[in-house]
Amino acid sequence: ISWGVWEAVRDESGETCDDGFPRMKFLRDGKEDMLFPPSVEWGGAEAEEAREAIYGCCKPVSPAVLAETLTGVSGYYLVGGNTYTMSLFHNMWDKQEDGGGHMQLLRDQLKDGTLFYTGHSAGLIMSNPTILTATFKGIDAFSIVTQPYNAPFLRLPPSETAETFFVAEKEKNDLLSSRTKMLENMARYDAWRGYRAVEAMAFPHYDARPRFASFPQSAETYLRATNEKGQFAQLQASLLVGPRGGERTEPADVRRLREETNAASLPCYPTANGHAIVLEAGGLAVVEALSPEEEGAGVLHFDTYMPYVPNKDWANYAPGRSQFPAGAFTGDRDTVAGDRSSEYDGARIFSRLEALGLPNPGATDEGAPGRLFRTKS
């Protein structure tokens, strides 16, 4: 994490890896250097040698490198992962005295139209003014990064030391100590704020199926934390900290931020797996909503989680293809329509989708319980 920037090019041999991806080579000082190692999970001297070779091909993260990277590309893709850890490290580097400020640089380039931002999962949450919707997920380990056994794998910025960043060795498995340390780190760098690429809020884990295999708690939290207009209106806390067996409370700075965000009445866009929303830089309103399609079936409803689609030869993403092949969703046993039944009342999402200008399954008979698709319009 935050160790460095790697660049790679395709190996001209044309070979592919076991997973079907083209063989790649790392660059060192702008020149091809070494093939991606198949794994560094084995032990011993060979693994250590491979790790050192990988580290040797990276440019260490610094404010200057972050700025150089942003000004030399057309697009910025922020991947998924642990939202809290991601936000903390972005904000730590952004606030370094020696040339920080890459987050404002990114906003400036977005505004100028010289850069586009694509955020996936945690990366979508990071595009928001704050990362509060990360607390809806219930799956990110809030304080894992403060554990001292992570020290060999982290490159801390100049303003931090192991003593200031990690919990003490004797407290390494104490959850309250770890969360308290993480809250201190987050407060020190104002790390509850996102990139603010847009002014709206979004929640990329929405799925209305009431079963734990598909984030039912996150769907319920989203519905509780928004009003019928789809605006952020979280009256109940979703991040609580306290001793085991004792009273747990919402941290004061999180409560304050939640109440400020409530007062702003920001739209909060639910986005299930496989779907996407498009906004202008600094925008509040969705310009376009995109959903996956199955050939001969239609467009997957916006409240429905796109299942995993096996694709060994990558033919589903061949140039020119705009639909998944017939049976990609309908032939998958785990494909379940967004819950619109009376038992769970997943249709509560309809008012929000309608108010937010997103595709609403309830607008036509195509959104009846159990229906996966709508006609492309």
pLDDT at 196 over 90: yes
DSSP state of 279: E
Least-confidence region, from 85-99, 185-199, 243-257, 339-353: 339-353
Cβ atoms of residues 62 and 51 within 8 Å? no
Q: For strands 268-270 and 201-203, give the pairing.
A: parallel
Gap between the Cα atoms of 171 and 178, Å rounded: 8
Gap between the Cα atoms of 47 and 33, Å rounded: 18
Least-confidence region, from 12-16, 162-166, 352-356: 12-16
- Which pLDDT does position 283 carry in this prediction? 97
Residues written for the chain: 377
pLDDT band of residue 107 (cuts 50, 70, 90) is: very high
- Which pLDDT does position 209 carry in this prediction? 65
- Which pLDDT does position 142 carry in this prediction? 94
Gap between the Cα atoms of 216 and 297, Å rounded: 26
- Which pLDDT does position 212 carry in this prediction? 47
Tokens 């009273």 locate to 247
Q: For strands 293-294 and 286-290, give the pairing.
A: unpaired
pLDDT band of residue 37 (cuts 50, 70, 90) is: low
- Which pLDDT does position 211 carry in this prediction? 54
Q: List pLDDT tens digits, range 274-284.
A: 999 999 999 99
Nearest to 39 by CA among 28, 27, 51: 51
Gap between the Cα atoms of 11 and 32, Å rounded: 9
Q: What is the mean pLDDT of residues 19-44?
A: 73
169's tokens: 């060795």
85's tokens: 């850890």
Q: List pLDDT tens digits, range 62-88.
A: 888 888 888 888 999 999 999 999 999
The pTM of the full predicted model, rounded to 2 decimals, is 0.90
Rounded-to-10 torsion of CA 267, 268, 269, 270: -150
> Above pLDDT 70, what percent of the chain?
94
Q: List pLDDT tens digits, range 115-155.
A: 999 999 999 999 999 999 999 988 889 999 999 998 888 88
Residues 6+ apart with CB under 8 A from 288: 277, 278
Helices then strands, each counted (H, E), the chain:
11, 14
pLDDT at 48 over 90: no
pLDDT at 95 over 90: yes
- Which pLDDT does position 15 carry in this prediction? 80
pLDDT band of residue 38 (cuts 50, 70, 90) is: low
Structure-model confidence comparison of residues 345 and 256, the more confident one: 256
Distances (CA, A) of 96 to 62, 150, 155, 181: 9, 22, 14, 20
> Above pLDDT 90, what percent of the chain?
59
